Structure 1
Amino acid sequence: MAALASCDKAPEYEMTDHFNGKNFINPTLSEQISPGISDVVGMMREGRQTWPTNLPTTGVPQLAADLGRDRMAVTFVNHATFLIQMPGITILTDPVWSERASPVSCFGPKRVRSPGIALEKIPSLDVVLVSHNHYDHLDLTTLRRLHERFEPTFVVPLGNRALLESAGIKDVVELDWWQSVAAPSQVQIMLTPTQHSSGRGLFDRDKALWGSYFVKRGDRSLFFGGDGGYSSHFSDIRERLGPPEVALLGIGSYEPSWFMRPLHMNPAEALVAHGDLEAGQSIGMHIGTFQLSSEAFDQPLTDLLSALRVSNSPPNSFTVMEEGETRFFPQISE
């Protein structure tokens, strides 16, 4: 609690286009995201669909022991959690294994299915990427478990290191947008922009930065979109870093649009982002685990398929994975 209370103090960073001396901001928005309690209550009440519960996890992970010289395996765990394996390195994105995306264990969004991989089944772990501090992306209980078992390096955006260190996590690298860190096995990891917000309590809104990640090793490259609305940052990332082989993009939590649109992409917007990035393949995420918005459980997939048809895009250019499913890149036929 002391760490959360201290977040009320303005962070000390240089002024940039995304930090105004007091808060982090979105340079892509003319007005910053500042919903009040009445907005949140209105969003929760507006047309909220009933989700199923206790769904089975059907994917069968193929946790690669030997990837050969230059392949990449991507396994979908749940929500925005992916296990990424490249030769000599294993990376996790926004790991969440807790039952609820909440500061308390008895209240808040509860998962509707188990993770696609049991945490105990992860064979090794070198790096954890955290996109921002919302509870459905930064799960301190899970991060502690990973730290105790593997002692990986945790990479976080500005303003998030203190929270992890308060939980006893020691190896934390804090990055600003467009800063990078060298990881094992000749992997480069860069924090890239996204359009979102941050906060874990009443007094720390936008005191910590949010971001996405671009991961590159030789010919393999992957973009992890974290969380965020559609904006010009996707084109900026492609212009600076080139097209990613694989892009992991959010396609859920987009209704009602009057509340969610600055924060999350709908599937049609995600398909435009896929084009902006010129990604080889995109995989949808931020779906199927926690009910955080009002659309139906299966609406993101329905809307994605519709957007693909309307745009005449190849159906396999942007897909979703089953929890526990593993895909390899490049594919054998490539």
Structure 2
Amino acid sequence: MAPPDASPPPQKSRRFSRRRLLALLASVPVIGGAGGAVAFNRQAYYSGPVSDHFDGTRFFDPHGVPPKPFTDLLRWQFGNDEKARWPETWPLAAKDKPPARVEGDAIRLSYVGHASFLLQTRGLNILLDPVWSERMSPVSFAGPKRANPPGIAFEDLPKIDLVLVSHGHYDHLDAATLSRLQAVHQPRVITPLGQDAIMKSHDAAIRAEAHDWGDRVEIGNGMAVHLAPMRHWTARGLFDRNKALWAAFVLEAPGGLVYHIGDTGYGDGHHFREAKRRFGGFRLAILPIGAYEPRWFMRDQHMNPAEAVQVMIDCGARRALAHHWGTVQLTNEAIEAPREALAAALAERGIAPELFRAIRPGDVLELSAAEA
């Protein structure tokens, strides 16, 4: 049984301090607002031809909008928007110990926390945006900190074959975790253009390969991965905003398609309707539901639970699974608010709650081959 929400009512806390400013700067490349961090990255991560989403220096989304300016970040942090206080810890009910493999068209998804999952199907073990670090930050002493440990102990991972990393924000691309995975499992790592350079600058041994929107990559056992647009952005430092690409992933398997979005705003819904047009619908969509308040600041880059339900409908997913909630506080909403808002949005649209679940870290979603 999940522990009760121990968080007190929302309260204002806007006192300026050096410690708070440092924590804010360490959080910037995670929260999806203004570009920047305490690091001063200037290098180019990718060089290639101009395209409909690359101007020769930076990537862009033709159907998106750029992140908010730094002045809006300060307005949010030191203005009048109320911020719920999360509990220091939100213990797991249980940790998962996954099997060595899942064969056939059954799917087993274990929620590690935030945007991290272990997906097992057709004999492959695939990690999505794996983060085992305590802080999701460019530094170890400040920035967003986990409220709970990973839902799978690192030592309990089965042999990892493949890692998918959606973009370079520190709550999705955790170089320390990728280096640990390389040392123990030597997995193949698939990521959007330019993110491979970030990984290899940390550890040259990481087996990273970069691909563009629209690419299809064979991964074995009758499966492939497609890279698809999502409405977001990326950065690791003050001067490298959008010098690498971001992407959603579509896992193609005989049992059906799985659509994984690491981070996205909703916008006008173009990307999700286009995904349905291109792929014909999905067996499962794995969608973010958290880090959405205040809406005036976050709406262009992070969708809320009601918008996530609309994405499920737009993309033609038969089922959905939520992430990006309950692990680390990035924005103003309370720890359980995304799950509560998801339940309300499903009820309003007349969708059965079991068709779009928000499980806790350490919990598992299993789909049988008969549900393909």
75 and 10 in structure 1: CA distance in 2 versus 1, 3 angstrom threshold: closer
Instruction: Note if contact 1:64-1:73 (Cα within 8 Å) is conserved in structure 2.
Output: no
Q: Output aligned runs, 1:40-119, within 5 Å.
A: 40-45=73-78, 46-61=81-96, 63-65=98-100, 67-119=102-154
Residue type of the alignment partner of 2:209: V
Q: 2:195 aligns with which of 147, 152, 160?
A: 160
Q: What is residue 136 of structure 1 aligned with on the other side?
A: 171
SS of 1:207's equivalent? coil
Q: Is the 8 A contact 1:62 1:325 kept in 2?
A: no
CA distance in 2, matches of 1:312, 1:220: 24
Tell me the distance in 1 between the aligned counterparts of 2:369 and 2:104.
Answer: 14
Q: Is the 8 A contact 2:255 2:369 kept in 1?
A: no
What amino acid maps onto 2:183 in structure 1?
E
Aligned to 2:66: 33
Of the structure 1 ranges 286-295 and 159-168, higher mean CA displacement relative to structure 2 is found in 159-168
Measure the CA separation in 1 of the matches of 2:214 and 2:132: 29
Structure 2 residue identity aligned to 1:287: W
Residues 298-330 of structure 1 show CA distances to partners (whole Å, capped at 9, x for unaligned) of: 111111111111111122121111211122213
Assess if the C-alpha contact under 8 Å between 1:10 and 1:22 holds in 2: no
The residue type paired with residue 193 of structure 1 is: P
Inter-CA distance 245–126: structure 2 relative to 1 (3 Å threshold): same
Matches within 5 A, 1:227-266: 227-230=263-266, 231-266=269-304
Does the residue aligned with 1:57 lie in a helix, a strand or coil? Answer: coil
Q: Which deviates more from structure 2 when the two are superposed, residues 313-322 or residues 278-287? A: 313-322
Q: What is the identity percentage for the equivalent residue pairs of Structure 1 and Structure 2?
A: 37
Q: Return closer, same or farther for 1:329/1:62 CA change in 2, 3 Å cut-off.
A: farther
For 1:324, which of 340, 357, 362 is the aligned residue? 362
Deviation string 1:194-228 (CA, Å, 9 cap, x unpaired) is 00011011000111111110002211321111111
Structure 2 distance, partners of 1:96, 1:105, is 14
Q: Which residue of 2 aligns with 1:220?
A: 256
Partner residue, 1:199: 235
What corresponds to 1:120 in structure 2?
155
Could you tell me which runs of 5 or more consecutive residues in structure 2 were left unpaired when the two chains were aligned. 1-38
Alpha-carbon separation, structure 1, partners of 2:308 and 2:207:
33
Name the amino acid aligned to 2:119.
Answer: I
Contact preservation (8 Å) 2:125, 2:159 = yes
More deviation, 147-156/57-66: 57-66
Amino acid paired to 1:152:
P
Task: Report how far residue 14 of structure 1 moved.
Answer: 2.0
Count, aligned residues: 329
CA–CA separation in structure 2 for the residues paired with 1:141 and 1:163: 12
1:189 Cα deviation from its structure 2 partner: 0.6
Contact (CA 8 Å) 1:79, 1:287: kept in 2 or not? yes
- Is the contact made by 2:326 and 2:360 (CA closer than 8 Å) also made in structure 1? no
Distance 1:281 1:124 in 2: 27
Please say which of residues 100-109 and 297-306 is displaced more in the overlay.
297-306
CA contact (8 A) 1:308 1:314 kept: yes
One-letter code aligned to 1:242:
G
- Render the CA deviation track for 1:211-262: whole Å, top value 9, x for unaligned: 1100022113211111110131011111111211111100000111111111
CA distance in 2, matches of 1:10, 1:329: 38
Paired position in structure 1 for 2:4: none
- Partner SS for 1:204: coil
Between 174-183 and 7-16, report the one with greater CA deviation: 7-16
Does residue 12 of structure 1 match 2:50?
no
CA RMSD of aligned residues (A): 1.8
**C-alpha distance in 1, partners of 2:314/2:185?**
36
Tell me how far apart the structure 1 counterparts of residues 298 and 76 of structure 2 sit (CA, whole Å): 9
**Contact between 1:10 and 1:21, CA under 8 Å: does it hold in 2?**
no
| Distance of aligned partners of 1:333 and 1:159 in 2 relative to their CA distance in 1, 3 Å threshold | closer
